[in-house]
């Protein structure tokens, strides 16, 4: 029977199928961080259980970590306690731990691929919805709850009904200043935040084939924002090139064996999907969000759509726009902004900083803008320095911070104040996401850069 890429990977990980129930799914790689793992370890201990395969779990501190002065003690006692708890649990059970200050530290979804933890054909979970990022490598990767973290720790399995299958194809060539982030935001705006709920997505077509691995990670990262459990892209020469030789990828004969398997990881020609969408690359322009969920996005040169054009009901729409301080049919270009954030597991990779630099080079940060430039990992930070981007940023009046989740979810000190507007390369514009009362405009690194130098929502095509 013909199979999709998703079927091939899922089916090969089913330990047992329960009739009228979930599959028992084997997990190859488990990533944990300090926020969603502590209660799982408490659960283990209260049941008298242990960690079955500690070598398959990787602990990384990222959500709470400060992005300045990481060499000093963490000031917030609750954050410090969570970071310490992660370290203690990792040490107790023999789990690898990349804490604050470790050379491999960074956002868990950035460091996984960088270090070869992420592999094609693997199942990867983490107590974090943006685990979908790793699907860029042809892995089945998705976010889980803390009860499931406990399951994986003690049995290396979780129990999940197999999701339905969706294929999203984008064909053609992307226009100038249209980045993978814009492709993701465009798809979410078309499907809405619940349009892919219950599905696992495969991205196909010219645009994804031609995209870099960094770009594919950005797109797969955003899969959860349309409700999908995850999204994946078939591995190809670019994928293998990216992972080859990384610290934790297979070596020698093991690499050859793995390659033989990875070469089979593509959707059969006559495989059937439960739902298919096809879009044209040419219809996508640089995107920006105007509301309080990632589906409320639009081409940057458009006006804010009216309530009847948006899924979700008038009351919900009005609540959202009132929170943002915007009105329907207004233009977004020219709106004043206060903060710019470049970073996160969505856009915290080297390519994102290169894009940001391409616009700010030779220009100056606007005086009214506070900018946070936060690399996704120390490895990204080093590359920024090596490639001379740091000099460009500093000449333009920007400061580079240290890696972490930062202002994406405001669990550390990087919080946008109430009422202020932030153009953010992160993934969620929910009410209060970047700090109580904060207002978030999601966009690409290019749109963020244009806003950073003008202090206004600005079309990046003006600068390119």
**In the window 33-62, what residues touch another protein (CB under 8 A)?**
35-36, 38-39, 42-43, 46-47, 49, 52-53
What minimum distance in Å lies between the beta carbon of 73 and another protein?
A: 16
Decide whether 124 or 371 has the Cβ nearer to another protein. Answer: 124
| Residues between 370 and 429 that touch another protein (CB under 8 A) | 409-411, 418, 428
| Residues between 426 and 455 that touch another protein (CB under 8 A) | 428, 430-433, 436-437
What minimum distance in Å lies between the beta carbon of 122 and another protein?
A: 7
Rounded to whole angstroms, what are the CA distances from 387 to 32, 105, 352, 372, 380? Answer: 31, 20, 13, 19, 11
Of the candidates 78, 322, 399, 464, which one interacts with another protein according to CB under 8 A? 78
Closest CA to 452 of 381, 363, 375: 363
Q: Is 323 in the site for another protein (CB under 8 A)?
A: no
Decide whether 136 or 152 has the Cβ nearer to another protein. Answer: 152
The dihedral of CA 355, 357, 360, 366: what is its sign? positive
Of the candidates 26, 240, 277, 463, which one interacts with another protein according to CB under 8 A? 26
What minimum distance in Å lies between the beta carbon of 376 and another protein?
A: 18
Decide whether 24 or 333 has the Cβ nearer to another protein. Answer: 24
Asked whether the beta carbons of 290 and 332 are under 8 A apart, the reply is yes
Decide whether 18 or 309 has the Cβ nearer to another protein. Answer: 18
The dihedral of CA 229, 116, 4, 21: what is its sign? negative
Q: How many CA atoms lie within 13 A of 272 on its CB side?
A: 2
Q: Is 21 in the site for another protein (CB under 8 A)?
A: yes
Decide whether 53 or 277 has the Cβ nearer to another protein. Answer: 53
Q: Is 309 in the site for another protein (CB under 8 A)?
A: no
C-alpha 323/C-alpha 434 separation (Å) is: 14
Decide whether 177 or 422 has the Cβ nearer to another protein. Answer: 422
Residues 6+ apart with CB under 8 A from 88: none
Q: Is 334 in the site for another protein (CB under 8 A)?
A: no
Q: Is 65 in the site for another protein (CB under 8 A)?
A: no
Of the candidates 4, 57, 67, 79, which one interacts with another protein according to CB under 8 A? 79
Decide whether 118 or 458 has the Cβ nearer to another protein. Answer: 118
Decide whether 410 or 456 has the Cβ nearer to another protein. Answer: 410
Of the candidates 62, 114, 150, 459, which one interacts with another protein according to CB under 8 A? 150
Q: Is 221 in the site for another protein (CB under 8 A)?
A: no
| Residues between 110 and 129 that touch another protein (CB under 8 A) | 119, 122, 127-129
Of the candidates 50, 91, 94, 161, which one interacts with another protein according to CB under 8 A? 161
What residues are paired with 331 via a beta bridge? 303
DSSP label at residue 256: H
**How many residues sit in the footprint of another protein (CB under 8 A)?**
82
C-alpha 447/C-alpha 464 separation (Å) is: 11
Element (H, E) at 126: strand 123-126
Q: Is 157 in the site for another protein (CB under 8 A)?
A: yes
DSSP label at residue 145: -
Of the candidates 95, 158, 207, 441, which one interacts with another protein according to CB under 8 A? 158
What minimum distance in Å lies between the beta carbon of 352 and another protein?
A: 22
Q: Is 8 in the site for another protein (CB under 8 A)?
A: no
Residue 3 has phi, psi (to 5 degrees) of -130, 150
Q: Is 302 in the site for another protein (CB under 8 A)?
A: no
Alpha helices, H only, 309-377? 314-324, 344-347, 350-360
C-alpha 151/C-alpha 52 separation (Å) is: 10
Stretch that binds another protein, among 153-161, 202-210, 267-275, 391-399 (CB under 8 A): 153-161
**What b-and-e string marks burial along 426-446, b requiring 16 or more CB atoms within 10 Å of the CB?**
bbbbbebbbbeebbbbbbbbb
Q: How many CA atoms lie within 13 A of 384 on its CB side?
A: 29
Decide whether 315 or 362 has the Cβ nearer to another protein. Answer: 315
Residue 86 has phi, psi (to 5 degrees) of -60, -45
What are the structure tokens assigned to 439, written together? 């207002």
Biggest CA pair distance of the chain: 63
Of the candidates 70, 175, 197, 370, which one interacts with another protein according to CB under 8 A? 197
Residue 425 has phi, psi (to 5 degrees) of -85, 10
Residue 279 has phi, psi (to 5 degrees) of -125, 160
What minimum distance in Å lies between the beta carbon of 136 and another protein?
A: 18
Decide whether 13 or 102 has the Cβ nearer to another protein. Answer: 13
Task: Give the contact letters, 257-296, x = binds to another protein (CB under 8 A), - = no.
Answer: xx--x-------------------------------x-x-
3-state helix, strand, coil in the chain (%, to 5): 40, 20, 45
């Amino acid at each position: 029977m013909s199979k999709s890429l998703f079927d091939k990977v899922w089916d090969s990980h089913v330990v047992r199928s329960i009739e009228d129930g979930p599959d028992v799914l084997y997990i190859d790689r488990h990533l944990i961080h300090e926020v969603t793992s502590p209660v799982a370890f408490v659960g283990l201990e209260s049941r008298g259980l242990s960690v079955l395969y500690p070598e398959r779990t990787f602990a990384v501190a990222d959500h709470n970590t400060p992005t300045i002065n990481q060499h000093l003690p963490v000031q917030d006692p609750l954050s410090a306690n969570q970071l310490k708890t992660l370290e203690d649990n990792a040490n107790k059970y023999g789990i690898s731990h990349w804490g604050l200050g470790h050379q491999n530290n960074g956002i868990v979804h950035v460091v996984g691929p960088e270090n070869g933890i992420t592999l094609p054909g693997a199942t990867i979970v983490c107590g974090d919805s943006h685990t979908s990022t790793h699907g860029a490598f042809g892995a089945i990767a998705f976010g889980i709850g803390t009860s499931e973290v406990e399951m994986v720790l003690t049995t290396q399995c979780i129990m999940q009904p197999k999701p339905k299958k969706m294929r999203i194809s984008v064909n053609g060539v992307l226009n100038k200043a249209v980045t993978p982030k814009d492709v993701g935001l465009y798809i979410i705006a078309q499907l809405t935040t619940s349009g892919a709920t219950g599905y696992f997505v495969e991205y196909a077509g010219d645009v994804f084939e031609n995209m870099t691995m960094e770009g594919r990670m950005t797109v797969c990262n955003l899969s959860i924002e349309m409700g999908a459990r995850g999204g994946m892209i078939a591995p190809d020469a670019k994928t293998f090139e990216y992972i080859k030789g990384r610290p934790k990828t297979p070596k020698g004969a093991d690499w050859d064996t793995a390659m033989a398997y990875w070469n089979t990881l593509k959707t059969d020609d006559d495989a059937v999907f439960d739902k298919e969408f096809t879009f044209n690359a040419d219809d996508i322009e640089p995107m920006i969000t105007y509301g309080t969920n990632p589906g409320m996005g639009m081409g940057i040169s458009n006006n804010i759509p009216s309530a009847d054009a948006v899924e979700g009901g008038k009351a919900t729409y009005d609540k959202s726009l009132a929170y943002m301080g915007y009105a329907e049919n207004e233009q977004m270009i020219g709106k004043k902004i206060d903060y710019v954030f470049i970073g996160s597991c969505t856009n915290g990779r080297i390519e994102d900083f290169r894009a940001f630099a391409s616009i700010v080079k030779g220009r100056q940060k606007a005086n009214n803008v506070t900018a946070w430039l936060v690399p996704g990992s120390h490895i990204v930070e080093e590359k920024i320095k090596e490639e001379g981007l740091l000099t460009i940023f500093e000449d333009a009046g920007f400061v580079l911070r240290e890696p972490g989740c930062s202002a994406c979810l405001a669990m550390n000190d990087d919080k946008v104040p109430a009422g202020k507007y932030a153009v953010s390369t992160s993934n969620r514009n929910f009410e209060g996401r970047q700090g109580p009362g904060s207002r978030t405009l999601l966009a690409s690194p290019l749109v963020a850069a244009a806003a950073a130098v003008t202090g206004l929502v600005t079309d990046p095509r003006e600068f390119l």
